[in-house]
């Protein structure tokens, strides 16, 4: 039950309202008992005595209670509605925020659908539980306790019968709880898998379509949703056991009360009136007992949902400011922009193999360094260390001698601007996507940045120019166009340090050349780390570093390296350019796949 108890602070902050809801729930239960008593009184009294004048007072009573009941019901729902709706939204915003600051490595280890199903399905389950399940779950035992006490006071033997009946009920509940909890967990996890699969099947639609693999995807989906179906059916089957037991036991208790009661009347230790009253009370108790089954199932689902929610909230943030938090807008100091990697090791959390090993590299302020290396040599990993999307395992990355881990994360990210190999655009206008790199930039500055990225022409031809919506919800841009918008975003802030991960792979050579020259002219002060595959890119850099086996294998200008490094010549295709590509099988041997990137 601990995951549910952890919502106590939220509950406490609205405890007044919530207690009112509980009281109204209890009253609603209580009124069910009172009205029959009054109506019985009316029939036995005024009506039996044909006394119209004596009728008005109790009738008024019934009317008032009736109105009170309706108003109470209305009020309970009116009060609880905004509270629980607000909670659901609050919890989602906490979950969202936790994830926003969770490091990329941890994000990569989660299936996306598992996060989404927590944010949506689990939280709406929790909302329902706190709105209805919990108040009834809390008030039902009180009603049962009061009823049992009444029975005991009336005749201890009848109370005893109810208590004996409770034993198998509790056993049934205990057995049910164990199985149901496990099934509910598996079912909710499977719901996450369904979500992931749906998401992938849509995001990967081009691949599925071009290979005609939609039937394959449908089969995969079918397998998961069959699993979900069986788990849900298993839940229904477990429900059916508990509910029928909870339906049967109170009626058996009633029969026992009648039988034992009759024996008692014969023996003389009780009266018929007491037996009738006891049966009436046990009748009233049947409803809450039957409901208990439903409430319990609901509570267990809520428990699972809560557990899944806390799993995310409990994710430890490993990339933070010194105080363990992340300041959204720290003060940004002045740096010249000397970027230095010093004896850097990097490995992914779940493997011992080092992707980067003892890597040393220095980029002087304003210098442009091209990083080249084979596919999978760790170039992207190296780039991701600079804005601390990942942290080094050993060694340091520093700017002007300051370890980047000693800076507030967002100060660092203010200094460092990145453009990724898979350009990420958000569902908003072109202008806003570019402006992200320099919030508050003028339109003029945006156009300037677009010009540097060779995106001005195509943007001005978009239907609404800068205001054209792009991203997943907007215009379908080509890969090269998206890359150039992402590049414009990276350069607009004239960042101290610019990290460009293969920023123009989908752009023709001509455009690439223009962009690179513009970058040098307009951002002469930015320290630039550019990941490159093409000789033209490398040739324009001040210095080129070759990444191999997790360390810098060679460093120098393009021309120097062409002279001195066999590996570099191979990477640049130099040894092959003279011959025809058809015969170039000898270069393949040297393609190194040193690790992840």
Partner 1 sequence: MSMPRLDSDDEVEALPADIAKKARALLMSLVRPHLAMLAFLAVIVVLTAALLVIGPVFIADALDTGVPAAIDGDLDPLLRAVTLFVLSAVASAILAFTSTRLVGITAQKILFTLRERVFTHVQRLDLGYHEKSTSGRLVSRQTSDMESVQQFLSYSLFETALAVLQMLFIAVTLLVLDVPLAIVVFAGFVPLFFITKAAHSTQRSAYRRTRTSIAKVIVHFVETMGGIRAVQAYRRQPERRGTLSDQDSRYRDANTDALRGVAWFAGWTRLIGNITQTVIIVIGAWLVIEGWTQIGVLAAFILYLRRFYGPLDELVQAFNLYQSASAALEKIAAVLDAEPAVAEPDRPVRLPAQSGAAGGTGSGRSLDLAGVRFAYGDGPDVLPRFDLQVPAGQIVALVGATGAGKSTLVKLVTRFYDPTEGRVGIDGVDLRDLEDAELRSSVVMVTQESFLFAGTIADNIRIGNPGASDEAVVAAATAVGLDGYIRRLPEGYATDVKKRGGRLSSGQRQLVSFARVFLADPDVVVLDEATAHLDIPSERLVQNALATVLEGRTAIIIAHRLSTVEIADRVLVMESGRIIEDGTPDELISGTGKFAQLHQAWRDSLV
For partner 1, which is the closer residue by CB, 159 or 264?
264
66 in contact with partner 1 (CB under 8 A): yes
Contact 51, 57 (CB under 8 A): no
The 462-481 site mask, x for binding partner 1 (CB under 8 A), equals xx-----x-xxxxxxxxxxx
Reported as half-sphere exposure (CB side, CA atoms, 13 A), residue 436 has a value of 20
Sole binder of partner 1 in the list 57, 156, 244, 269 (CB under 8 A): 244
- Cα–Cα distances (Å) from 158 to 152, 154, 288, 517, in that order, read 6, 8, 18, 94
The 385-404 site mask, x for binding partner 1 (CB under 8 A), equals --x-x---------------
Q: Smallest distance, Å, CB 77 to partner 1? A: 3
Helix (H, G, I), strand (E, B) or coil at 174: helix
The neighbour count for residue 564, using CB atoms within 10 Å, is 13
Sole binder of partner 1 in the list 1, 5, 521, 581 (CB under 8 A): 581
Contact 327, 321 (CB under 8 A): yes
Contact 69, 56 (CB under 8 A): no
Sole binder of partner 1 in the list 19, 37, 247, 394 (CB under 8 A): 247
574 in contact with partner 1 (CB under 8 A): yes
Q: Sign of the C-alpha dihedral, residues 97, 101, 104, 110?
A: negative
For partner 1, which is the closer residue by CB, 2 or 323?
323
63 in contact with partner 1 (CB under 8 A): yes
Sole binder of partner 1 in the list 19, 43, 145, 171 (CB under 8 A): 43
Question: Can you say how many angstroms the Cα of residue 170 is from the centroid of all Cα atoms in its chain?
Answer: 36
Helix (H, G, I), strand (E, B) or coil at 117: helix
Q: Torsions phi, psi of 453, nearest 5? A: -85, 10
Contact 377, 597 (CB under 8 A): yes
Sole binder of partner 1 in the list 15, 19, 37, 276 (CB under 8 A): 276
262 in contact with partner 1 (CB under 8 A): yes
Considering only residues 338 to 377 of the shown chain, the ones binding partner 1 according to CB under 8 A are: 348, 350-351, 353, 372-376
Considering only residues 483 to 542 of the shown chain, the ones binding partner 1 according to CB under 8 A are: 489, 502, 505-511, 513, 533-536, 539
Contact 285, 253 (CB under 8 A): no
Q: Which residue carries 């298993």 as its tokens?
A: 234
Q: Smallest distance, Å, CB 579 to partner 1? A: 10
Q: What is the 3-state secondary structure (H, E, C) of 290-338?
A: HHHHHHHHHHHHHHHHHHHHHHHHCCCCCCCCCCCCCCCCCCCCCCCCC
For partner 1, which is the closer residue by CB, 39 or 364?
39
Query: Which of the stretches 142-150, 167-175, 397-405, 415-423 binds partner 1 when contact is defined by CB under 8 A?
Result: 415-423
Sole binder of partner 1 in the list 2, 52, 521, 524 (CB under 8 A): 52
Give how many residues touch partner 1 by CB under 8 A: 201
552 in contact with partner 1 (CB under 8 A): no
Considering only residues 109 to 148 of the shown chain, the ones binding partner 1 according to CB under 8 A are: 109, 111-113, 115-117, 119-121, 124, 127, 131
Sole binder of partner 1 in the list 160, 279, 315, 518 (CB under 8 A): 279
- Cα–Cα distances (Å) from 141 to 50, 135, 137, 138, 291, in that order, read 41, 11, 7, 6, 11
Residue 502 DSSP code? S
For partner 1, which is the closer residue by CB, 43 or 167?
43
Q: Smallest distance, Å, CB 370 to partner 1? A: 13
Distance CA 442, CA 431 (A): 10
Considering only residues 181 to 240 of the shown chain, the ones binding partner 1 according to CB under 8 A are: 191, 194-218, 221-222, 225-226, 228-229, 232-233, 235-237, 239-240
């Amino acid at each position: 039950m601990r995951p549910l108890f952890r919502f106590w602070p939220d509950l406490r902050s609205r405890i007044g309202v919530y207690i009112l809801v509980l009281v109204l729930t209890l009253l609603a239960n209580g009124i069910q008992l009172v009205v029959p008593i009054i109506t019985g009184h009316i029939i036995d009294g005024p009506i039996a005595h044909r006394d119209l004048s004596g009728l008005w007072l109790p009738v008024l009573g019934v009317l008032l209670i009736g109105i009170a009941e309706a108003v109470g019901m209305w009020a309970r729902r009116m009060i609880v509605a905004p509270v629980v709706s607000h909670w659901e939204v609050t919890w989602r915003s906490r979950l969202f925020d936790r994830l926003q600051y969770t490091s990329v490595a941890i994000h990569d280890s989660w299936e996306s659908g598992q996060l989404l199903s927590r944010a949506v399905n689990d939280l709406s389950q929790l909302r329902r539980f706190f709105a209805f399940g919990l108040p009834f779950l809390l008030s039902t035992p009180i009603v049962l306790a009061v009823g049992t006490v009444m029975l005991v006071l009336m005749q201890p033997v009848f109370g005893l019968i109810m208590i004996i009946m409770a034993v198998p009920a509790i056993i049934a509940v205990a057995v049910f709880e164990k199985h149901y909890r496990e099934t509910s967990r598996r079912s909710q996890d499977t719901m996450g898998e369904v979500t992931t699969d749906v998401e992938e099947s849509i995001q990967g639609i081009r691949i599925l379509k071009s290979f005609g693999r939609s039937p394959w995807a449908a089969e995969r989906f079918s397998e998961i949703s069959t699993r979900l179906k069986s788990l849900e059916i298993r839940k229904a089957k477990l429900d059916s056991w508990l509910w029928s037991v909870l339906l049967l036991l109170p009626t058996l208790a009633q029969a026992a009360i009648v039988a034992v009661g009759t024996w008692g009347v014969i023996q003389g230790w009780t009266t018929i009136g007491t037996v009738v009253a006891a049966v009436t009370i046990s009748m009233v108790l049947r409803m809450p007992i039957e409901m208990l089954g439903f409430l319990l199932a609901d509570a267990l689902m809520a428990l699972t949902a809560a557990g899944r929610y806390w799993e995310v909230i409990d994710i430890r943030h490993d990339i933070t400011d010194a105080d363990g938090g992340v300041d959204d807008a720290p003060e940004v100091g002045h740096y010249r922009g000397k970027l230095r990697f010093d004896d850097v090791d990097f490995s992914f959390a779940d493997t011992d193999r080092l992707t980067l090993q003892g890597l040393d590299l220095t980029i002087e302020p304003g210098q442009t360094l091209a990083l080249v290396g084979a596919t999978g040599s760790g170039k992207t990993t190296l780039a991701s260390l600079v804005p601390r999307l990942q942290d080094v395992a050993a060694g340091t990355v520093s700017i002007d001698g300051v370890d980047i881990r000693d800076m507030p994360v967002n100060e660092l990210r203010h200094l460092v601007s990145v453009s990724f190999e898979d350009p990420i655009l958000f569902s908003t206008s072109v202008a806003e996507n570019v402006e992200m790199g320099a919030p508050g930039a003028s339109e003029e500055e945006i156009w300037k940045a677009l010009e540097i990225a060779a995106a001005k022409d195509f943007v001005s031809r978009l239907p609404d120019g800068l205001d054209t919506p792009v991203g997943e919800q907007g215009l379908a841009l080509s890969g090269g166009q998206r890359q150039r918008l992402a590049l414009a975003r990276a350069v607009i802030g004239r960042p101290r340090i610019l990290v460009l991960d293969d920023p123009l792979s989908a752009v023709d050579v001509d455009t690439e050349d223009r962009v690179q020259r513009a970058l040098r002219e307009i951002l002469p002060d930015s320290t630039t780390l550019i990941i490159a595959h093409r000789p033209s890119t490398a040739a324009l850099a001040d210095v080129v570093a070759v990444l191999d086996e997790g360390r810098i294998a060679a460093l120098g200008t393009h021309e120097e390296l062409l002279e001195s490094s066999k590996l570099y010549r191979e990477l640049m295709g130099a040894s092959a350019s003279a011959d025809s590509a058809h015969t170039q099988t000898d270069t393949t041997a040297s393609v190194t796949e040193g690790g992840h990137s």
